[in-house]
Amino acid sequence: MSYDPKETAPEAPAPKGPVGSREAQILYVAEAEDGIRLDRWFRRRWPHLSNIQVQKMARGGQIRVDGARIKPEGRLTAGAAVRVPPIPEPIVRAPGEHMPLTPADIAFAKSMVIYEDDLVIALNKPWGLAVQGGTKTTRHVDRLLSAWGEGMERPRLVHRLDRDTSGVLLLGKGPEAAKRLAGAFARRQAKKTYWAIVMGLPKPTAGQIDLHLKKSGINDYEIMRPAEPKENGAEPAETAYALISHAGQRASWMALRPFTGRTHQLRAHMKAIGHPILGDPKYGDEKSKELSGPLKLQLHARRIELDHPKGGKLIVEAPISPEMRAGFQHFGFDQGEADRDPFEGVRRMR
């Protein structure tokens, strides 16, 4: 696949700051933004807008594309004329949330890089760092992406990791690269391998979990629980697992491969088969909490393999985190025991 960086040059630069506007205006979709969702197009230009605000403007008909209504998730085409209604000024947030990055912030962001080329950045996200912000979260990966610049220079997230899951997190440089990477994840073409330390010794030691999941609870108390396929809100979820090593019957070092991308899928699936991931305060039970002791969540996104935006394969591996290393030391696991790809030849059941 050929790839010309010139093709990603925008017709007009996006506004760099989170400023509002008092009058409606017409803006045109750049060539590099062909296929982008309407809500993401807005958030790229006005980061202070919430998803709810964009949805309200779109559904109320305030936003028009070539004169027609459009849904928030609708895709834009290059050259389309977007009617932008008056944009509210940014609301003053919690101290530090919208402050410019400090030199220390920039140095920290760049220290996470384990691979970078002209189209892709791969980070080794540490334990405890959220990917995106929230009401009480002002330090997160999305904010730190400003270390690479603003507007079209700012890399884009193409997938997610839980706050307490460490490991490989990919970013796209420019909208075209981000669109291709995100598309690979959406089409389940990315091969993701996680390492986890779980309670007990699964039997059989390798297999696949095909179990629907459904969100239950709200906010910080939201969890995924097993559900019947016909249950309202239930989503199909499939995970392959394989034993790498075990510490007697107490704990096992597992390789996990999600074939679907449900929230907390690996954590919920391992709990469902009676082997919760250690250090998990949300999906653990009394026995796993006792075995975990002071250990943090023992889940690490070890490896990602997918098509590179300009051809060929992109394979990235992330060294284990200090939190995961503590688990290895506690149970006596050696990284040299791991096969490069324990799921070679394994395919989805569906």
Active site residues: 162
Angle at CA of residue 329, ends 324 and 332, nearest 5°: 120
Q: Do you find a cis peptide bond into 88, omega within 30 degrees of 0? A: no
B/e letters for 313-328, b = 16+ CB within 10 Å, e = fewer, are ebebbbebbebbebbb
Q: Which of 314, 2, 310, 13 is nearest to 153 (CA)?
A: 13
State the burial class of residue 50 (Cβ atoms within 10 Å of its Cβ: 0-12, 13-18, 19+).
exposed
Q: How far apart are CA 252 and CA 264, in angstroms?
A: 19
Contacts 24+ apart (CB under 8 A), 226-233: 226/268, 226/272
Q: How far apart are CA 3 and CA 200, in angstroms?
A: 48
Q: What is the DSSP string of 296-346?
A: ---EEEEEEEEE-TTSSEEEEE-PPPHHHHHHHHHHT--GGG--S-TTTT-
- The SS3 call for residue 110 is helix
Q: How far apart are CA 291 and CA 313, in angstroms?
A: 40
- The SS3 call for residue 140 is strand
